[in-house]
């Protein structure tokens, strides 16, 4: 394990990973060069009923392949039930954690686990101490997920051993980096998001593309497997599956074409099903927007639910992301389909506390 100390921007109660909007001289220069300010936000985890952790990345874009992050204002945030947000940590190190599917936070809000440079790292948000958890035994470690009691971390990596042919494999590791154990090789399958744990920590739900495809028309399989790697049950089809803390539901995204059968524009909805695949129903997050944003080589209607689905600790509601005009904002909805609420400002460019 590699241990290093990082400075904090202030006292840590609870954290939101993010990037504050930056309209300084570098931003003005990027604007002159044709870049458009495109901040994004995505929830990571509810720590309790009053506090939600989320990513906010402050990007400037001049096209899908021309992205310039504003790292000077990257940081860790706290969001209160009153809507107050304040920075806890700022700096380039957090800015490098590029996507919420590559990070997770322990149940007490103290430890951030994330992937960078193909390895897993654990960051203590109180002391600022960072520990590297994986070594040369695995490559391209990513998509970490804390177990409910913070005793284990599930993640995906490629084995360095020749007999595995470098294919994706699901692993477990202890929070201190010991006890690395292979759960199951994934073969040619592509896994799109972090595994989600059952409340008893005995099972995981994952979304996998059977043949490595990653487009909306290639629907991912939703698979429930045990942590011993002995069972493998396909219980549905969809994206971003997330197990509720009560164990009653698995939430996931379902994509459908917005228009005729030849259209490359899609819309999405949040669906619920029981862990055995029965009892499916839809939460009403329908968008009336007609404009769309790019997703891979396709487009998705603005306002469609998108990205990671994050359960509240009591399993009563879900936080998720919606994108409007290239800017993503966080929303929440009750598990009965009522109470659709915007959690972050419509103009994500407005920095909190400034």
pLDDT single digits (tens) 183-221: 999 888 888 889 999 999 999 999 998 876 665 567 889
- Integer Cα distance of 270 and 276 in angstroms: 18
For residue 40, is pLDDT > 80?
A: no
Q: How confident is the model at residue 91 (pLDDT cuts 50, 70, 90)?
A: low
Question: Whose CA is closest to 54, among 295, 336, 342?
Answer: 342
Q: Cα 108 to chain center, whole Å?
A: 18
Structure tokens of 153? 């971390």
Supply the pLDDT for residue 296.
Answer: 45
Supply the pLDDT for residue 63.
Answer: 62
Tell the burial category of 199 from Cβ atoms under 10 Å away from its Cβ (0-12, 13-18, 19+).
Answer: middle
Q: Using DSSP bridges, classify how beta strands 265-273 and 298-301 pair: parallel, antiparallel or unpaired.
A: parallel
Supply the pLDDT for residue 207.
Answer: 93
Determine the length of the chain. 354
Q: Are 318 and 312 in contact (CB under 8 A)?
A: yes
Supply the pLDDT for residue 347.
Answer: 44
Q: How confident is the model at residue 330 (pLDDT cuts 50, 70, 90)?
A: confident
Q: How confident is the model at residue 288 (pLDDT cuts 50, 70, 90)?
A: low
Q: Are 180 and 137 in contact (CB under 8 A)?
A: yes
Supply the pLDDT for residue 81.
Answer: 74
Q: Are 321 and 330 in contact (CB under 8 A)?
A: yes
Question: Which region among 105-119, 149-163, 266-280 has the lowest average model confidence (pLDDT)?
Answer: 149-163
Structure tokens of 282? 């839809």
Sheet holding 119-124, edge to edge: 2-5, 129-132, 119-124, 111-116, 103-105
Supply the pLDDT for residue 30.
Answer: 63
Rg of the chain over Cα atoms, rounded to whole angstroms, equals 19
- Integer Cα distance of 262 and 259 in angstroms: 8
Q: How confident is the model at residue 14 (pLDDT cuts 50, 70, 90)?
A: very low
pTM above 0.85, yes or no: no
Q: φ and ψ at 259, to 5 degrees? A: 135, -150
Structure tokens of 200? 């008893």
- Integer Cα distance of 159 and 167 in angstroms: 7
């Amino acid at each position: 394990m590699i241990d290093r100390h990082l400075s904090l921007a202030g006292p840590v109660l609870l954290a939101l990973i993010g990037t504050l909007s930056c309209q300084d001289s570098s931003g003005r220069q990027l604007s002159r060069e044709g870049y458009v300010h495109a901040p994004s936000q995505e929830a990571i985890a509810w720590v309790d009923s009053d506090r939600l952790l989320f990513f906010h990345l402050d990007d400037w874009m001049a096209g899908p392949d021309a992205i310039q992050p504003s790292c000077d204002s990257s940081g860790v945030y706290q969001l209160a039930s009153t809507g107050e947000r304040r920075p806890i940590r700022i700096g380039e190190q957090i800015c490098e954690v590029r996507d919420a599917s590559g990070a997770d936070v322990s149940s007490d809000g103290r430890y951030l686990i994330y992937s960078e440079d193909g390895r897993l790292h654990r960051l203590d948000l109180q002391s600022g101490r960072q520990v590297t958890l994986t070594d040369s035994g695995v490559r391209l470690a990513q998509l970490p997920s804390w177990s409910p009691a913070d005793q284990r971390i599930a993640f995906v990596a490629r084995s360095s051993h020749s007999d595995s042919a470098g294919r994706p494999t699901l692993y477990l590791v202890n929070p201190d980096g010991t006890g690395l154990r292979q759960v199951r090789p994934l073969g040619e399958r592509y896994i799109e998001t972090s595994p989600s744990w059952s409340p008893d920590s005995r099972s995981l739900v994952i979304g996998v593309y059977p043949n490595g495809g990653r487009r909306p028309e290639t629907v991912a399989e939703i698979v429930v497997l045990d942590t011993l790697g002995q069972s493998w049950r396909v219980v549905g089809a969809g994206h971003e599956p997330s197990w509720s803390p009560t164990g009653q539901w698995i939430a996931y995204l379902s994509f459908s074409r917005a228009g005729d059968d030849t259209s490359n524009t899609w819309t999405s909805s949040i669906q619920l099903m029981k862990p055995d695949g029965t009892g499916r129903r839809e939460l009403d997050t329908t968008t009336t927007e007609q404009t769309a944003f790019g997703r891979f080589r396709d487009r998705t209607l603005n306002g469609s639910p998108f990205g990671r689905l994050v359960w509240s600790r009591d399993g009563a509601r879900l936080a998720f992301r919606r994108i409007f005009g290239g800017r993503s904002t966080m929303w929440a909805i009750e598990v009965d389909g009522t109470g659709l609420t915007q959690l972050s400002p419509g103009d994500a460019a407005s920095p909190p506390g400034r």
